[in-house]
Every structure is written in C-alpha cells, then in structure tokens.
C-alpha cells in the first residue's frame, strides 16, 4: 500500500494567518514547511482508495472514486473538507465514532453514507483490513490499523499516549511496518490531549519499524530544526511528515 500525506498539520495549519512565530515565518520561505490540517489517503495494491480524515478540501489531490472515508474524531481540523466532499457525485461510505458527531454531516450527508463505529470494529475494503482502536483525546477518538498482506500501518492521532487496550493490540502486531503518530507539540511540552515530539517518537518505535510524526502545530519547532532534532535522536527510524509526502509500505 501507499500512504499519501495530504495534510500533516494541527488544527490551525501552518502558516497561521498573521502569525510571526518562527514556524510560520519559515513556512512562508519554504513551501514544504506549510501544513494543511490532517488528511491521509491509503492506496491499496488492488487500487483501493481509503481516506482517513478530511481536514482539507481534497479535490486537487485526489480525483478518483473513494472506497471509504474513516474519521478519527469529529474535531473541525479532521472534518472540514467533508462539508465540500459530501457533494461527491457517487455514494461513499463514511465510518466514524459517535462522540461529538457533526449535526450537519449526519443530518444532511448528501452522497456520504455515515456509519457509526467503535473501537474493536473491523472493516474490510477489498484487500485492506481496517481495525478501529481507542485513543486518548478530548472527545471519543479512534486510531486505525490498516493491514494488507500481513503488513500493518497504524494511524495514531489525535492522542496523548495510548490506552492500555490499544497498547496490547499493537504489542501483538509488533513490529508494524509504519506508525503515524500525533506529534503536535515541541519536545518537553505537556498537553493533556496531544503528544509532544519525544512522546510521539518513543511511542512509535515501541511498535513499528518506521515512524512518521504528523499533526504538527506551529507551536512545534520549525521544520528544519525539527528534522535535525528527530534525526539526532532516532536516526532514520523516525521521520517528520510533510504535505505531499508518500510512504511505500
């Protein structure tokens, strides 16, 4: 499978309007340091296309039928693109947890077909097996483990650490090929709902051969500093996501 990182930012995206912090100023100099809110596409070996979160309008990145859309949770930075995408000219399944569901999307989904799911549910999309797992966040939030031909990829955001029941599932599958982990905040920063970079890298390498840090806020280190920090600490096992990144599993 291929993992296509369409959006790798936190809720505000980078640069933030009128913000003069170092991350936002750097992103005005280097286009690769700009970040849209979280949006991932998984493309399976048989051509399956699955979206995980739609934090941005995807039309210029993915102009293809979508087999299913999975939401991690209903915070605006993970659903914003749905307001546009619900007009899609083809019925499309949407899987999401119940917690804080958006009334407009549920009551007037247009061509989206909402299904409420919970941790432990498994959904098969042709050759992709997708399992929902529980995460630790402000509202009910699901991570996803995507399996194809015995290779596993975990999407673990938004979260602060992991519930024990999710750790047990990941321990059994370890080593996963890839873990994509919430790294919203800079090293040393403590937040009740999101990891910092150290927590994210350590969480990922426990379970996966490679780790990609994503959901990165402008409060984090600027892109170039973050890449240096991560490389010094974990060499090439941990990578910093960027919008447009493609990872071959």
Helix (H, G, I), strand (E, B) or coil at 36: coil
Contact pattern for Zn ion over residues 113 through 152, marking x by CB under 5 A: ----------------------------------------
Report the nearest approach of Zn ion to the CB of residue 194 (Å): 8
Min. distance of Cβ 152 from Zn ion in angstroms? 23
For 98-163, give the DSSP string. Answer: STT--HHHHH--TTEEEEE--TT-EEEETTEEEEEEE--SSS--EEEEEEETTEEEEEE-S-SS--
The smaller minimum CB distance to Zn ion, of residues 77 and 140, is found at 77
Query: Rounded to the nearest 10 degrees, how much is the dihedral formed by the CA atoms of 85, 146, 190, 21?
Result: -50
The window from 41-49, 76-84, 126-134, 205-213 that contacts Zn ion (CB under 5 A) reads: 76-84
Least Cβ distance, residue 129 to Zn ion (angstroms): 25
Q: Is 218 in the site for Zn ion (CB under 5 A)?
A: yes
Which span (28-36, 68-76, 97-105, 195-203) binds Zn ion, by CB under 5 A?
Answer: 68-76
Q: Is 107 exposed, middle or buried (0-12, 13-18, 19+ CB in 10 A)?
A: exposed
State yes or no: residue 158 binds Zn ion (CB under 5 A). yes
Q: Which of 26, 53, 77, 199 binds Zn ion (CB under 5 A)?
A: 77
Nearest to 181 by CA among 229, 235, 136: 136
Virtual torsion, Cα 113, 119, 137, 201, nearest 10 deg? -110
d(CA 179, CA 182): 10
Toward Zn ion, which CB reaches closer, 134 or 218?
Answer: 218
Closer by beta carbon to Zn ion, 160 or else 177:
160
Closer residue to Zn ion in complex, CB, 44/81? 81
Integer-rounded Cα Rg, in Å, for the chain is 17
Distance spanning both ends of the chain, measured CA to CA? 5
| Residue from the set 1, 3, 6, 24 that interacts with Zn ion by CB under 5 A | 24
Q: Does 245 bind Zn ion (CB under 5 A)?
A: no
Q: Taking CB under 5 A as the rule, does residue 102 contact Zn ion? A: no
Q: In this structure, how many other beta carbons lie within 10 angstroms of the beta carbon of residue 199?
A: 22
Least CB distance from residue 89 to Zn ion, whole Å?
28
Q: Which residues bind Zn ion (CB under 5 A)?
A: 16, 19, 21, 24, 75, 77, 158, 218
């Amino acid at each position: 499978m291929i993992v296509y990182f369409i959006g790798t930012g936190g809720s505000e995206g980078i640069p933030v309007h009128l913000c003069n912090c170092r991350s936002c100023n750097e992103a005005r100099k280097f286009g690769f340091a700009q970040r849209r809110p979280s949006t991932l596409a998984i493309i399976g070996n048989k051509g399956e296309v699955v979206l995980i979160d739609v934090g941005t309008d995807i039309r210029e990145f993915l102009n293809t039928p979508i087999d299913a859309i999975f939401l991690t949770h209903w915070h605006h930075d993970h659903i914003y693109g749905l307001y546009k995408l619900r007009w899609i000219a083809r019925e499309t399944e949407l899987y999401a947890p119940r917690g804080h569901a958006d009334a407009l999307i549920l009551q007037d989904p247009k061509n989206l077909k909402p299904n409420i799911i919970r941790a432990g549910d498994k959904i098969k999309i042709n050759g992709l097996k997708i399992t929902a797992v529980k995460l630790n966040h402000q509202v009910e939030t699901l991570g996803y483990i995507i399996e194809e031909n015995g290779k596993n990829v975990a999407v673990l955001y938004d979260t602060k650490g992991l519930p024990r029941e999710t750790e047990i599932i990941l321990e059994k599958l370890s080593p996963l090929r890839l873990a994509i982990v919430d790294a919203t905040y800079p090293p040393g920063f403590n937040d009740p709902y999101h990891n910092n970079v150290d927590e994210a890298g350590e969480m990922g390498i426990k379970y996966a051969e490679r780790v990609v840090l994503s959901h990165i806020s402008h409060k984090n280190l600027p892109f170039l500093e973050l890449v240096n920090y991560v490389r010094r600490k974990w060499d090439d096992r941990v990578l910093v996501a960027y919008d447009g990144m493609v990872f071959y599993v």
